[in-house]
Amino acid sequence: MYTKNFTILSVSSILFLSIVLYIVYLFIADQVNVFKIYKTAIVVLSSSHFYFIMILVVGVSVIVDVLYIVMVREVKTPIYLLFKSLMERKHLTYEERTSLFKIIVEKIKSNTYEY
């Protein structure tokens, strides 16, 4: 419950404080002659290069994030994922799964288990 509320609070804060406030600043600064971005917001937002770069940055970020998750899962599998995958094996009995898990944990503790 705490994590769910914290996540919703984090996402809403990030969206409001970084995106919404920036867009408001962009349009206000676009109309005031004092700022250096005077009359550039409309030009930037009407350019297809701007949207291409935004899609490219988001795409690269997603690819890097997914590759990191795959690398952690495949190269250095956390214990909880190992246990979860063992528990999902339906062809083994519960006792076989837990004994297999105990063997793997003992090998990890003795540093003889190869990832």
Confidence of residue 1 (pLDDT cuts 50, 70, 90): very low
pTM of the model: 0.55
Q: Do 81 and 115 have their domain in common?
A: yes
Domain that holds residue 65: 47-75
Question: Can you give the pLDDT at residue 45?
Answer: 84
Whether residues 32 and 64 share a domain: the answer is no
Q: How far is CA 77 from CA 24, 33, 83, 106, in A?
A: 44, 56, 10, 15
Q: Domain check: are 37 and 59 in the same one?
A: no
Whether 82 and 61 share a structural domain: no
Which residue's entry shows tokens 């795959």?
70
Query: What is the reported pLDDT for 4?
Result: 61
Q: Kindly state the tokens that stand for 23.
A: 């867009």
Report pLDDT for 95. Answer: 84
Tens digits of per-residue pLDDT, 90-110?
Answer: 788 878 888 888 888 787 777
65, 87: one domain? no
Q: What is the DSSP string of 20-89?
A: IHHHHHHHHHHH-TTSTTTTTHHHHHT-HHHHHHHHHHHHHHHHHHHHHHHHHHHHS--HHHHHHHHHT-
What would the pLDDT profile of 43-71 be if each residue is shown by its tens digit? 888 999 989 999 999 999 999 999 988 88
